[in-house]
């Protein structure tokens, strides 16, 4: 990874998601101006994180011990896989750790919606079960969910690549055709990235709107519950007064 790309990754996945897209464009343009077209293409291809992925990324970036704690527990779970009592003990510890880190991740957010909390919890739990998720902590682009049983297997070492056969020099026409196809593939890939960005931004906007709706409805529900409690108290007081009045009327009629 080039220095420009590494710096861009560090900055983009540490900034607010609302600033991601314009800043990515600026960093890609700066890389092109610096003559690093390959880095510019890679920067342009960096994907904007969802709100829940951003929350987990910030947790990991702010507290380097988070990733090591998750990795340590994952290692203990793998080592104790054949010991039923140990697995039960570690499963309880897993729930406590995920709950603790979820609270830590959301503590600075005012009234985080339940959906956001659930996605953060699921992602932290998946980071224990899946080494691929754990490897991407800090640069996640979406929430992760582990639907398997137990833990995912550790990735096997990749086989050594076979020596490449010497390339036979191609005619100029064939080389030009390959270059033309390569440019077309780059154009198609850039267009796909742009379309994916638009779809992601639209989904993010919808998510923010729904979060605002949920917060408004939760506030309305809380207000309605207060009004219901007050109405019940008034009804109880009115009923008490009615009973006392009825009793007084009965005495007067005797």
DSSP codes of every residue in 112-130: --HHHHHHHHHHHHHHHH-
Contact indicator for 55, 143 with CB cutoff of 8 Å: no
The pTM of the full predicted model, rounded to 2 decimals, is: 0.58
Structure tokens at 1: 């990874």
CA-to-CA distance for 170 and 179, rounded, in angstroms? 12
Q: What is the pLDDT of residue 159?
A: 44
Q: What is the pLDDT of residue 184?
A: 60
Burial class, 235, CB count within 10 angstroms (exposed 0-12 / middle 13-18 / buried 19+): exposed
Q: What is the pLDDT of residue 181?
A: 72
Report in angstroms the alpha-carbon separations of 180 from 30, 41, 173, 186, 191. 26, 18, 11, 10, 17
CA-to-CA distance for 3 and 22, rounded, in angstroms? 20
Structure tokens at 245: 């009045």
CA-to-CA distance for 97 and 156, rounded, in angstroms? 28
Structure tokens at 47: 């994907």
CA-to-CA distance for 197 and 97, rounded, in angstroms? 34
Dihedral angle of Cα 122, 53, 73, 114, to the nearest 10 degrees: -40
Task: Count Cα neighbours of 166 within 13 Å in the Cβ-side half-sphere.
Answer: 2
Q: What is the mean pLDDT of each run of 10 residues along the chain (254 residues)?
A: 87 92 95 92 94 96 94 90 83 94 93 94 94 94 80 55 44 62 61 62 71 76 82 85 87 84
């Amino acid at each position: 990874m080039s220095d420009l790309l590494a710096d861009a990754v560090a900055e983009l996945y540490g900034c607010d998601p609302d600033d991601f897209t314009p800043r990515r464009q600026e960093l890609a343009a700066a890389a092109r101006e610096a003559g690093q077209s390959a880095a510019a293409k890679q920067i342009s291809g960096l994907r904007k994180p969802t709100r829940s992925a951003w929350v987990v990324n910030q947790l990991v970036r702010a507290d380097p011990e988070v990733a090591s704690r998750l990795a340590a527990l994952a290692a203990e779970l793998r080592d104790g896989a054949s010991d039923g009592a140990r697995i039960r003990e570690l499963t309880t510890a897993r729930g406590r750790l995920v709950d603790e880190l979820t609270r830590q991740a959301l503590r600075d957010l005012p009234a985080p919606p339940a959906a956001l909390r659930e996605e953060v919890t699921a992602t932290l739990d998946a980071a224990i079960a899946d080494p691929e998720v754990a490897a991407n902590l800090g640069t996640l682009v979406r929430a992760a969910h582990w639907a398997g049983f137990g833990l995912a297997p550790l990735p096997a070492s990749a086989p050594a690549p076979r020596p490449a056969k010497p390339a036979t020099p191609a005619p100029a026409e064939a080389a030009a055709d390959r270059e033309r196809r390569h440019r077309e593939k780059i154009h198609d890939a850039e267009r796909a990235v742009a379309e994916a960005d638009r779809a992601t931004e639209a989904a993010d906007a919808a998510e923010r709107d729904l979060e605002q709706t949920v917060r408004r409805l939760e506030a309305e529900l809380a207000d309605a519950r207060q009004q219901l409690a007050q109405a019940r108290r008034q009804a109880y007081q009115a009923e008490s007064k009615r009973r006392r009045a009825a009793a007084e009327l009965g005495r007067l009629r005797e």
